[in-house]
């Protein structure tokens, strides 16, 4: 979030010169929306009525047809989930939703990343077979599970795939596939998370059951699927998918349920152990506090714990499991910190910390690194170097697993596809998104893979500006550094990935400065020639003592509200600092 050791440039976002149709709106807020491509009040609509029809998703007719048969014949259904927060919330949505729509026997299996790896593999099918299911439904995985689907079909198990990952050249021979990223799919949002996809499947299923008079015939109440939106919001934000209008609606509606006390016990417990306030919880809280605690189960142990926490209706049991997840997250943080230090030491040994001599694509490996933490490590190093990064960890049997994180303009899955095409034997398997991907390679193939990765990325970086930038929405006046304007910003939209929360910049006089915690810098600032004193905090500052005693700084910041013992005050969350001599 904050990096003092890397020089960045603060750039004011460009605002298109067009007539906005927002009605009466604060001019700063209008400027913010225009800079993010919004032009009218319709673009700000976050009601459920704004969601596009589920029937626009290709494969939905087949999917719903098979699910209705499964419900009417009371087939045994097994959900196969991914081991991250999106997979866990997708699993909870599938189980709760299908049960509310009449399915009686619904179980789940989530692969342990350390034993089975990702997706519906033949090994996972063998595990699922022990439950003797009639139907497998994948959530947040399956689109690349060619062999796993084949094995399941040979065993006479029906396979229904719901996924959002990019498909490869070949699709599995499943009975139905719903994925907004299928070629020629007509759904207007390819950025749905896995949890959004299964939620859409349930909406279509309920619609068809309603049309068939199923609820009247069975004399059961039609379920309100909106009760699942707290799961959808958490999974969507935690998976760091782009918050286009569809996802902004889903996340906002989920946040509304949480804020009004209508969330599930597991999510309430996760919010409580993270020290957040349910009544004011934001999308950033889901991404930076709640999501990591849920993810910790899959990273450090077994995601089954996270799924059970989401599913339970017992508040005391939910609290107990949330505390276990919190402990796992603390362990993850400790391991991550150690791994980051080791990664920076590796880079230093390579003598390539000078940005002019860095490889275009950075690969890092240590035989002691933890598989569950390499994705976070890659993200941290990527942020510091502003280069695509892959961190590898041992996976047994002369195999290593890598987790990649990229920068805007470099589609990391396409990079891996290019490597696989040029070097067919290098990659055992891979998959992912534009900004994140995973892969497996043989240990002895690491050196040639690292060279190939650097070469392919270098070609793609030719047209990309690698100067690190902080994009600002301009300066704020003293009259705008208020609780009222901070509330306006927080409530005006659902901020997140590719729809960033507003950042502002300015020059300030430093009235006070001190170090809090281990590496946080607490400041009292004032605009030059101004009168208003305002608190600010910069988290995780490299060498925070070097900032003490300064009289003037330039800062990029988010406008925040600090709540302490019932008191609310304005606070700047500093994203970047520059010394002014």
- The pLDDT-based confidence of 4 (bands split at 50, 70, 90) is very low
Residues 79 and 175 in one domain: yes
253-295 pLDDT, tens digit per residue, is 999 999 999 999 999 999 999 999 999 999 999 999 999 999 9
Which among 410, 429, 461 is the end of a domain? 461
CA nearest 175: which of 41, 39, 43, 75?
75
Residues 59 and 133 in one domain: yes
| Phi, psi angles (nearest 5°) of residue 528 | -55, 130
Residues 445 and 519 in one domain: no
Residues 529 and 547 in one domain: yes
Residues listed for the chain: 581
The contacts of residue 526 (CB under 8 Å, 6+ apart) are: 508, 509, 511, 532, 533, 534
Flag whether 26 is in a domain: no
Going from the C-alpha of 5 to that of each of 386, 544, 558, the distances in angstroms are 13, 11, 20
pLDDT of 581 higher than 80: no
430-484 pLDDT, tens digit per residue, is 888 788 899 999 999 999 999 999 999 999 888 777 778 899 999 999 999 999 9
Residues 369 and 400 in one domain: yes
Bridge partner list, 537: 522, 573
Residues 245 and 108 in one domain: yes
pLDDT of 7 higher than 80: no
pLDDT of 366 higher than 50: yes
Q: Which helix (H) or strand (E) holds 552?
A: strand 552-564
Which among 419, 436, 461 is the end of a domain? 461
What CATH number does residue 103 fall under? 3.90.1640.30
Q: How many domains are there within the chain?
A: 3
Structural domain of residue 288, as residue ranges?
A: 53-326
Residues 433 and 483 in one domain: no
Residues 409 and 486 in one domain: no
Residues 315 and 352 in one domain: no
Q: For residues 559 and 485, is the Cβ–Cβ distance under 8 A? A: yes
Stated pTM of the model: 0.92
Going from the C-alpha of 396 to that of each of 368, 401, 442, the distances in angstroms are 12, 9, 10
Average pLDDT over residues 301-328: 96
Flag whether 544 is in a domain: yes
pLDDT of 14 higher than 70: yes
DSSP 288: I
Flag whether 440 is in a domain: yes
Residues 449 and 513 in one domain: no
Flag whether 1 is in a domain: no
CA nearest 500: which of 489, 512, 511, 509?
489
The contacts of residue 277 (CB under 8 Å, 6+ apart) are: 271, 563
Flag whether 48 is in a domain: no
Distance CA 31, CA 323 (A): 42
- Which pLDDT value is given to residue 351? 56
Flag whether 62 is in a domain: yes
What CATH number does residue 527 fall under? 2.40.50.460
Q: Which helix (H) or strand (E) holds 10?
A: strand 9-12
Residues 499 and 450 in one domain: no
What CATH number does residue 366 fall under? 3.10.310.30
């Amino acid at each position: 979030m904050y990096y003092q050791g890397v020089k960045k440039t603060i750039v004011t976002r460009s605002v298109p010169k067009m007539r906005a149709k927002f009605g009466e709106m604060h001019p700063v807020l209008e400027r913010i929306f225009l800079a993010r491509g919004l032009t009218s009040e319709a673009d700000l609509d976050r009601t459920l009525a704004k969601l596009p029809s589920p029937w626009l998703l290709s494969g939905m007719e087949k999917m719903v047809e098979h699910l209705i048969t499964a419900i009417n014949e009371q087939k045994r259904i097994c959900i196969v989930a991914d081991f991250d927060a999106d997979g866990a919330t997708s699993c909870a949505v599938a189980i709760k939703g299908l049960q509310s729509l009449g399915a009686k026997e619904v179980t789940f299996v989530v692969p342990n990343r350390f034993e089975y790896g990702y997706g519906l593999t033949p090994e996972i099918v063998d595990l699922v077979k022990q439950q003797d299911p009639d139907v497998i439904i994948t959530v947040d995985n399956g689109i690349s599970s060619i062999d796993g689907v084949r094995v399941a079909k040979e065993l006479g198990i029906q396979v229904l795939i719901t996924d959002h990952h990019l498909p490869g050249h070949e699709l599995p021979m499943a009975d139905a596939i719903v994925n907004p990223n299928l070629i020629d799919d007509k759904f207007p949002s390819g950025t749905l998370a896995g949890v959004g996809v299964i939620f859409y499947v349930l909406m279509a299923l309920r619609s068809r059951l309603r049309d068939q008079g199923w609820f009247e015939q069975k004399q059961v109440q039609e379920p309100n699927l909106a009760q699942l939106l707290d799961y959808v919001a958490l999974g969507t934000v935690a998976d760091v998918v782009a918050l286009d209008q569809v996802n902004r609606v889903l996340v906002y509606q989920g946040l509304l349920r949480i804020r009004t006390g209508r969330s599930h016990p597991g999510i309430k417990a996760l919010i409580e152990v993270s020290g957040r306030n349910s009544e004011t919880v934001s999308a950033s809280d889901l991404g930076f506090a709640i999501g990591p605690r849920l993810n910790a189960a899959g990273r450090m142990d077994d995601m089954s714990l996270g799924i059970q926490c989401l599913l339970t209706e017992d508040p005391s049991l939910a609290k107990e499991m949330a505390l276990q997840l919190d402990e796992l997250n603390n362990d993850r943080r400790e391991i991550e910190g150690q791994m980051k230090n080791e990664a920076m030491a590796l880079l230093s040994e390579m003598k390539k910390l000078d940005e002019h001599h860095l490889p275009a694509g950075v690969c890092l490996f240590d035989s002691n690194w933890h598989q569950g933490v390499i994705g976070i490590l890659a993200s941290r190093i990527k942020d510091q170097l502003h280069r695509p990064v892959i961190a590898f960890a041992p996976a047994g049997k002369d195999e290593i697993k890598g987790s990649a994180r990229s920068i805007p303009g470099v589609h990391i899955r396409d990079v891996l596809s290019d490597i696989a095409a040029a070097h067919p034997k290098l990659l055992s398997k891979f998959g992912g998104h534009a900004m994140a991907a995973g892969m497996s390679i043989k240990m002895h193939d690491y050196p040639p893979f690292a060279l190939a990765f650097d070469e392919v990325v270098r070609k793609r970086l030719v047209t990309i500006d690698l100067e690190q930038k902080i994009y600002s929405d301009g300066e704020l006046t003293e009259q705008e550094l208020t609780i009222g304007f901070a509330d306006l910003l927080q409530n005006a939209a659902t901020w997140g990935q590719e729809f960033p929360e507003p950042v502002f910049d300015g020059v300030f006089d430093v009235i006070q400065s001190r170090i809090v915690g281990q590496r946080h810098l607490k400041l009292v600032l004032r605009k030059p020639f101004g009168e208003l004193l305002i608190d600010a905090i910069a988290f995780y500052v490299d060498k925070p003592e070097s900032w003490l005693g300064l009289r003037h700084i330039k800062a990029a910041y988010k406008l925040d509200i600090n709540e302490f013992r019932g008191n609310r005050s304005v606070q700047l969350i500093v994203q970047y600092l520059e010394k002014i001599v």
